[in-house]
Amino acid sequence: MGRTLLLIAASFVFFLIDLYVFQAVTYVSQGFSSNVQHVLNILYWAISAIAIAGFLVYNLGGKLTMSRGMKTFVISMLFVNYFPKVFGVLFLLIDDLIRLGKWTWLKIHPDTAQAIEDGISRNGLLVKTSLITTALPAIAMGYGIISGAHDYRVRKVILRLPNLPASFHGIRIAQISDVHSGSFYNKTAVKGGVDMLLAEKPDVVFFTGDLVNDTTTEVNSYMDVFGKITAPLGVYSTLGNHDYGDYRQWPSVEAKKQNLLDLIQAHKVLGWDLLNNENRVLTQGSDQIAILGVENWGTRFVKYGDLDKARRGVEEAPVKLLLSHDPSHWEAQVLPKYPDIDLMLAGHTHGMQFGVEAGDFKWSPVQYVYKQWAGLYQQKNQYLYVNRGYGYLAFPGRVGILPEITIIELEKA
């Protein structure tokens, strides 16, 4: 009952946002014909009604029964309809505060009423600005769903490591991360990204966590797609925070444990060597390098990872590559305690799926939460690479921060 009341309260807040922004719509449409105004009003409220109805149905059981396409539609409607309206509300609020100040002045100084009588009406510039700042993000988010969600980009990096054995000079590593298969709605596009990865002909492939959103069943219909990922030296993977099923309610502790066991089995079926606080040694000729993989370890989430255990037995390896889902692990543990880890590969942030990248400039709101959030970072001879993610979560699209396939080539310095 409490959850239902909370959902009703949230729906009422959505309605209030709609009602507030509708003032701007009616103000701007005053010069239109009555028929055009009528159509605009119906369209405005119909979209909002569908968004609120979808929100209620989704959260009152529909999440378990809806198809992936319907889930995507509902989530898209919510994001595109309400997130941009926050900006519109801001400008309308500024206008109302100005009007309130003028009204208060009139009450205190009624003799000046005639002088500023017309000033109590809405400020046309602010009202129009509110609609523009609502429309532009809505258009960008719509484009981000239609195009950005699967606009895969191959990003190439060359790293020079002083201790790299000669036999591994030129090794090509492919990294993908944060698949979130439960969010996908376009299998053809997802397969296209995998084809792009394979076209790069990597020697080894690393996957750095979050194969699913919550449950292992999400990946079932994509096993044939990701099962095609192969490489001469193997495909190695690790778990992300979403893979444990920590963000949903389970009927029992046993059910949650079984879900994780099923996910581990899914990695095996895919042909991916899952490293849960383990290591593997790659050999070429007489040379060797070590791959370490830890379970999720992040400063803001439950810490399952055990790096000491993952290093056991390969302490003398000349080069160590670490797969760890959360980039906060790098500064929290890797840099201060493990100077022999040459490169850590992470994901997790998705670049918040929103931001700006132009040349060397990059910005996203996620940078105020994660110091290392996308691309390459270096401290002395240690490197961190944060993949921007292959999939998406919550918002089914990307604006500015596009899905990534990373190709890292190692050279001997």
Count of other CB atoms within 10 angstroms of residue 87: 20
pTM tops 0.95? no
Query: Block means of pLDDT (10 residues each) for the chain, length 413 residues?
Result: 85 94 91 91 94 91 78 88 93 90 78 56 87 92 93 98 96 98 94 98 98 96 98 98 94 97 98 98 95 96 94 96 98 97 98 94 96 97 98 94 98 93
Residue 241 confidence (pLDDT): 97
* Backbone φ/ψ region at 169: left (φ over 0), alpha (ψ -120 to 50), beta: beta
Distances (CA, A) of 369 to 156, 299, 366: 26, 11, 5
CATH topology of domain 152-412: Purple Acid Phosphatase; chain A, domain 2 (3.60.21)
Domain range list for the chain: 2-146, 152-412
Beta pairing class for 382-386 and 375-379: antiparallel
